[in-house]
A and B are shown apart, each in its own frame.
Chain A
C-alpha cells in the first residue's frame, strides 16, 4: 500500500515532530483513567488472596462476611469454574481459585461493599479451609516427576510440572560444532521482572437492569477481555461492552484477560450495582505477567573466516502458576534469537515450567530479550577467540534485506548494516574500544524484533485491524479504532495517518478508541503490531474518503475552470485540494466536503489490515515469530565501572534503530529512550526476588527501576529503510529497542574491567564478585605452582 499519492510538497504530517494527541489532557490532569470514573451507587471491591503458595481449598465459608452490614455481594471461584486464558491453547485460569490455590496472592474470594473499610473487614470474616500442598518454586523442582495430585496443573501430558516443550533443529549442528574454528558457550541466568507501569490495575463493572454488562478496564487487549468475559460469565458477546479509558502504561502487563476483571463483573451481576476494584501495588506483583525468569544454556560456533555456523540453545523458562502468554514465550526465546545474523545450523530446546509463583507473561521485547543478552555476550567472546573486532564478526554475518532466515522468516526491509555503521562511527568505536583506561569501556549489542505477529491468537479470518471513519457537516473526522492507546501513541499515529491522507490538520481528527460498542475490532496492543496494522487500516479508510472528496473537488473545479482537473491529479494538503501541476487551482476541504455530503449524508469509510500469507516453513511452531516485517537495531554503550564497589555507571548510549519510516520523531525517540530506560533497569537493578515463592519486594521502593539520575545520555539514531508494506513505510519501534542495551552494557563492562557477567541484573555485588574472582585467579594459579 501503503503510500497513496504523496503530495508534491512532501508529507503533511508524516515525519513531523507531532505532540501526542493525549499529551495535554494527561499533563493537565483531565485525562480520565478507570479510577477517575464514578457511577451512582458504585461499590468498592476487595479481593481475598491465598497466603499459601500451593494448597487445596477444602471449603470457603463466606456467611459471616455476607452478614456484615454494608456488604452487597461476595463471590468465590466455585461460582465461575469456566477456564480461560489469553491463549486458547492453555486456558488454565479461573476467575478465582476453584479448588486449588496456586501461588501466594492467588484470588480466592471477593467482596463488594459500600466502602473499602467494610470490604476489608469483610475479607477478614471469610474462612478458608486450606490443605497445604508441597510448593514448587524453582524450575529445577518443577521438572521432577510428581504424583498427579500434586501437579500444579493436571491437564498437561507431562509427569512433572512442565507446561510446554519446544524443540527445533535445523541443519547439521553437531557437524558445525565439530568442524568449528572457534566456539563460545555459557550458562546464563536472568531474573524475572515486573513491568512497573505507573497505573496499578483498575476495573469498573456495571451490570445494568437491561442485562447488559459494561466493563471499564485498563487493558492493552480489550478484545480478548471481551471474549473471556463472555465465555466465563456465559453471556453472548453482544451483551457485553468493554471500554478502555486512558491507560497509565502497560508494557505487556495489561494484555491478559485477568481474574480480577471477571470477578468484578461477577460481583456487579450479583448485586446489580456498579463495582470498582483498584489494586494496590503489591497486588500488581501478584497479578504479574512480567518477564519470565530464564536459565539459558547457549553455545555458538564459527569457522575460520568468522562465519557463524552453529547455535545451540537450551532455555528453561519459569512460568509461574499459569499459562498466560507462555507458549508464545517458549517459542520466542528460541525463534527470535538468530537474526540479524545468519546461522547455518540451529537447535533450540525450550521448556516452560509451572511453578507456584505469580504467573509470568508478556513484557516489552517479549521472549527476545534474555536470549539476546546471552547471544550478544557470546558473540563478543567468539570474536575475541577468532581475533576479530566484535563489530567485524557481526558485520560478516548479517542477513541481507529481502532474504529468509533458516527458520523461515521473510526479511524485507533491513537497515542493520547502517545501524551498526552509525552507532560505531558516532561512538568512536574504532579509536576507543579496547583503548580506554581500566574502568571505562565500550560495548555493542544488536537486535531485531517482529513488527506485529502475523497470526492472530484466535484462529479466525477476521481482519487483524479495522478502522472506521465518519465525517459529517462540521468537517471533523471521527476515527473509530479498536487499537488500544496505552501511552505508546497509537491514537496519535492513527490520527496522523488520516490527517496525512486527507491533508487536514491533525486536530480535525478525533479518535474514539476501544469501546466495543463503537469501535471495530483490533487485536490489541501487543507484539508491536499497532502502527503497522492499524496504521495501514487507517490509511485504507482515509483513502476511500479521499476518493469521495476528490470526486467532489473534481466537480467543483470543472465548474470553475475551463478544462477541470481529473481526480488523479489532485493533491491534499493544508486543508486544500489542489491541482498538482498548478496549486492555484484549488478547492477547500470544507467546500469539497459540503458537496460530497449533499443528498448523501455523513461520509463513512472502513479500512482493514490482514497480514499477507507468510508461512513457508512447515515445522511445528513455524508460525511463531512470523511477521510482515522486522525492526533492527544496534547500540553502543559507554560505561564506567568502579572496580572497588562494582558500581556501573552508564555514560552514554548510541542507539541506532531501523523503524522503516519515522512517522513521528518525537514518538520514535520517546520509545527508544523509554526502552533504554527499561532495558538498563533490567541490566543493572531490576530483579524479582522471591522467598519461598513469595515476591520479596512487592513495591516500587525495593523493586528498583532505574531512576532519572541513572539515565545516561542517549543519542537516538533513526535509520529509515522505508518498509515496502508499512504505513508510509513505517515499522515497529516499541519493543525491539529494548534488548540491545543489555548486552551492550555487559560487553562494555568487559571492555572496562575484563569480566563477563552471566547473570542479570548486573548488580554491584555481582560485578564486584566477578572482578574479585578475576583478581584471585592469577594469584591462585601462582600459589598452585
Chain B
C-alpha cells in the first residue's frame, strides 16, 4: 500500500507551527511519531494534502513529573526514572502500548490525539466501498449503529494514556491562532467519533500538566487485550484513590476503548467513605451501569462491559490493599 502524496512541513517552533497551520487549515494534519497517522493515510482515511510534522519543535520535548511535552516518546516516558517513581501507573500504561519499536516513535501527544478506531473505519478503500462507505470517511451512515436517530460516529477512542492521566487530574496545554490555553483532560474529549476532542483546526496539543496533588493518589491501570503485546486495548481501566487510613478521601475511575471518548465515572458521592469490599462493589456496579460498548472492535460488547466491572474491582482491590 502506498502513502498518498502530501507536502511535508517541518516547523521548528510552536509559534511557527501555529502560523503555518493557520495558512494551511483545514487542509492539513499534524504528525508526531506517525504511528497512527501514516497507517491511516495508507488506507486513505481522510488523508490531506499537507502534513505538518512536530518532530523538530524542541519546546515540545519537556519531561518532568509536572509537565510532559507532547513530543515525548512513549518509550522515554515509560523508562523515565522520575515518572516511574512518582506515577508508576503512567509508566505502566505507556509500557503496554503497541510494541517496543512503535513506542520508539509514538508520542504522548499523538497518543492523546489518536484517531478513533472501528471495524468499519480502519479498512482499505475497497473494503469500505464494498460496504457503501463509513460515516467517518464521508460515507452516508455509521455502520456500527445504522438505525440510530442522530447519525453520529461510534468509532472507539482507544488510547491507553488518557484514562490514567485523567485520574491523575491532568490538564493539557493547547496552542493555536488565538493563543494558548489549558484544558482539564476530562473536558478535552468530545463524544463523537469524528470530532473526538476540543482542538480546533490549527490548534495543537503542546503538553500535559500533572498537578502536585496527584502525588497524594495511588493510581493503577488495567488493560484488556487478547495478546500481551501489540494489541490496542479492547478495554482499559484507570483508577486513582486518595486514602487516609481506611478512609477513601477521593476516588477516580476512567475507562478507555468502550466509547467514543474516555469514559469518566462520576464518583463524587463515593468520597470520604470507609474503604470496604462493599464500597468496591458499588463502584464496580457504577461502572457496569455507565459503560455501554458497541460492536466495533473485537470481543463481544456484553463481555467487554462485564470486564469493565471485573477489572475495576480488581484494580481497586489492588490499590486499597
A in complex with B: yes
A764 and B226 form a contact (CB under 8 A) = yes
Note all chain A residues with C-beta closer than 8 A to B129: 51
Tell me whether B298 and A51 are in contact (CB under 8 A). no
Q: From residue B106, how far is it (CB to closest CB) to chain A in Å? A: 14
* Complex contacts, B127 vs chain A, CB 8 Å: 104, 282, 694, 698
Is B310 an interface residue when CB atoms closer than 8 A count as contact?
yes
Residues of B within 8 A of A116 (CB): 2
Q: How far is the CB of B209 from chain A (nearest CB, A)?
A: 32
Tell me whether B130 is interfacial, beta carbon within 8 Å: yes
B300 within 8 A of A: yes
**Shortest CB–CB separation between residue B211 and chain A, in angstroms?**
33
- Report Cα–Cα, A685/B129, bound state, in Å: 28
Known: A701-B230, A709-B229. A763 touches B310 (CB 8 A): no
Residue in A117, A685, A708, A768 whose CB lies within 8 Å of B226? A685
- Asked whether A644 and B310 contact (CB < 8 A) given A51-B129, A52-B130, A282-B127, the answer is yes
Q: Is the CB of A710 within 8 A of B227?
A: yes
Beta-carbon contacts under 8 Å, A677-713 to B: 684-685, 691, 694, 696-698, 701-702, 704, 706-710
Q: Is the CB of B299 within 8 A of A707?
A: no
Residues from chain A with a CB closer than 8 A to the CB of B229 are 707-709
Cβ 8 A contact of A51, one of B2, B130, B300 = B130
Residues of chain A within 8 A (CB-CB) of B7 are none
| In the complex, chain A residues whose CB is within 8 Å of the CB of B126 | 49, 51, 104-105, 282
Contacts of A49 in B (CB 8 A): 126
Q: Which residues of A, 450-484, contact B by the 8 Å Cβ criterion?
A: none
Q: How far is the CA of A104 from the CA of B229 in the complex (A)?
A: 31
Q: Which residue on B lies nearest to A710, using beta carbons?
A: B227
Whether A707 contacts B230 by the Cβ 8 Å rule is: yes
A contact residues around B226 at 8 Å (CB): 684-685, 704, 763-764
Residue B278 at the chain A interface, CB threshold 8 Å: no
Instruction: Note all chain A residues with C-beta closer than 8 A to B227.
Output: 685, 704, 706-707, 709-710
What B residues does A765 contact at CB under 8 A?
A: 299-300, 302-303
Q: Name A's interface SS.
A: loop
Cα A104 to Cα B1 in complex, Å, equals 18
Chain B minimum-CB-distance residue to A280:
B1
A696–B298 alpha-carbon span in the complex (Å): 10
B124 at the binding interface (Cβ < 8 Å) = yes
- B276-312 contacts to A (CB < 8 Å): 298-300, 302-303, 306-307, 310
**B299 — which chain A residues lie within 8 A by C-beta?**
763-765
B41 within 8 A of A: no
For residue A709, which residues in chain B have a CB less than 8 angstroms away from its CB? Answer: 227-229
For A701, what are the chain B residues with a Cβ–Cβ distance below 8 Å?
A: 230-232
Query: A710 touching B124 by the CB < 8 A rule?
Result: no
| Chain A, 271-286, CB within 8 A of any chain B CB | 280, 282
Judge whether B131 is part of the interface by a CB distance below 8 angstroms. yes
Minimum CB–CB distance from A713 to chain B (whole Å) comes to: 16
Give the B interface residue count (CB, 8 A): 29
A114 in the interface, Cβ–Cβ < 8 Å?
no
- Interface footprint category on A: 20 to 34
Contacts of B230 in A (CB 8 A): 701, 707
Docked complex Cα distance between A763 and B234 (Å): 13
Asked if B298 and A120 sit within 8 Å, CB to CB, the answer is no
Distance of A280 from chain B, by nearest CB (Å): 5
A645 contact from B5, B300, B307, Cβ within 8 A: B307
Shortest CB distance A284–B (Å): 12
* Residues of chain B within 8 A of A710, CB atoms compared: 227-228
Query: Closest CB of chain A to B114's CB: distance in Å?
Result: 14
Within 8 A of B (CB), among A623-669: 644-646
Q: Whole-angstrom distance from the CB of B265 to the nearest CB of chain A?
A: 20
Question: When chains A and B are docked, how far (Å) is the Cα of A768 from the Cα of B122?
Answer: 28
CB nearest to A772 among chain B residues: B306
B183 to chain A, nearest CB (A): 31
B228 touches A697 (CB 8 A): no
Which residues does chain A contribute within 8 Å of B231, judged by CB atoms? 701, 704
Asked if A764 and B303 make an inter-chain contact with CB atoms under 8 angstroms apart, the answer reads yes
When distances are taken between beta carbons in the complex, the residues of chain A under 8 Å from B314 are: 644
A694 near B131: Cβ-Cβ < 8 Å: yes
Q: Which of B156-190 contact A (CB under 8 A)?
A: none
How many angstroms from the CA of A6 to the CA of B13 in the assembled complex?
Answer: 76
User: Complex: how many Å from CA A701 to CA B231?
Assistant: 7
Residues of A within 8 A of B131 (CB): 691, 694
CB atoms of B130 and A694 under 8 A apart:
yes
Q: Smallest distance from the beta carbon of A639 to chain B beta carbons, Å?
A: 16
Q: In the complex, which residue of chain B has the Cβ closest to the Cβ of A46?
A: B2
CA distance A116 to B130 in the complex (A): 22
Are B119 and A282 touching (Cβ within 8 A)? Answer: no
CA distance A105 to B130 in the complex (A): 9
Give Cα A701–Cα B226 distance, bound, in whole angstroms. 11
Whether B303 pairs with A768 at a CB distance below 8 angstroms is yes
Chain B residues with CB under 8 A of A706: 227
* Cross-chain contact B124 with A697 (CB below 8 angstroms): no
A710 to B310, CA, bound (A): 22
Which residues of A sit under 8 angstroms from B1, Cβ to Cβ?
280
Docked complex: B77-108 residues within 8 A CB-CB of A: none
Chain B residue nearest in CB terms to A703: B298
Q: List which B222-238 residues lie within 8 A (CB) of chain A.
A: 224, 226-232
Question: A702 contacts which of B124, B298, B302, B310 (Cβ < 8 Å)?
Answer: B298
Closest chain B residue, CB of each to CB of A124 = B125
Q: Which residues of B contact A697 (CB under 8 A)?
A: 119, 298
User: In the bound complex, how far is the Cα of B228 from the Cα of A104, in angstroms?
Assistant: 32
Cβ contacts B28-47/A at 8 Å (1 or 0 each):
00000000000000000000
A691 to B146, CA, bound (A): 14
The interface residues of chain B lying within 8 Å CB-to-CB of A708 are 229
Contacts of B228 in A (CB 8 A): 707, 709-710
Smallest CB gap from B309: residue in A: A644
Q: How far is the CB of A705 from chain B (nearest CB, A)?
A: 9
Chain B residues within an 8 Å CB radius of A763: 226, 299
Complex alpha-carbon distance, A694 and B120, angstroms: 11
Q: How far is the CA of A644 from the CA of B311 in the complex (A)?
A: 9
In the assembled complex, which residues on chain B have CB atoms less than 8 Å from the CB atom of A120?
A: 2
Which residues between 110 and 162 of chain B lie within 8 Å of chain A, taking CB atoms? Answer: 119, 122-124, 126-127, 129-131
Q: When chains A and B are docked, how far (Å) is the Cα of A708 from the Cα of B1?
A: 27
Bits for A739-775, please: 1 = Cβ < 8 Å to B, else 0.
0000000000000000000000001110011000000
In the bound complex, CA of A645 to CA of B223 (Å): 12
Shortest beta-carbon distance, B150 to chain A, in Å? 23
A105 to B231, CA, bound (A): 26
Measured CB to CB, the closest approach of chain B to A50, in angstroms, equals 8
Name the CB-closest residue of B to A48.
Answer: B126
Give bound CA distance, A117 to B1, whole Å. Answer: 10
Q: For the complex, what is the distance from the CA of A280 to the CA of B224, rounded to whole Å?
A: 29
Given A704-B226, A763-B299 in contact, is the A282-B124 Cβ separation under 8 Å?
yes
B:1-51 near A, CB below 8 Å: 1-2, 5
Query: Which B211-253 residues sit within 8 Å CB-CB of chain A?
Result: 224, 226-232
Q: Mark A335-349, 1 if CB is under 8 A from B, else 0.
A: 000000000000000
* Residue in contact with B119 in the complex, picked from A105, A696, A704, CB distance below 8 Å: A696
Bound complex: CA A34 to CA B287 (Å):
53
6 A-B residue contacts at CB 8 Å? A51-B129, A104-B126, A117-B2, A645-B224, A691-B119, A765-B299
Which B residues have a C-beta under 8 Å from some C-beta of A?
1-2, 5, 119, 122-124, 126-127, 129-131, 224, 226-232, 298-300, 302-303, 306-307, 310, 314
Please provide the 5 A-B residue pairs with the shortest distance between their CB atoms, ordered closest to farther. A765-B303, A51-B130, A707-B227, A709-B228, A104-B130
Residues of A within 8 A of B (CB): 49, 51-52, 104-105, 116-117, 120, 280, 282, 644-646, 684-685, 691, 694, 696-698, 701-702, 704, 706-710, 763-765, 768-769
Interface contacts beyond A120-B2, A644-B314, A646-B303: sample of 16 additional A-B pairs, CB < 8 Å, sorted by A = A51-B126, A51-B130, A52-B130, A104-B127, A117-B5, A282-B127, A691-B131, A697-B119, A698-B123, A698-B127, A708-B229, A709-B229, A763-B226, A763-B299, A765-B299, A768-B303
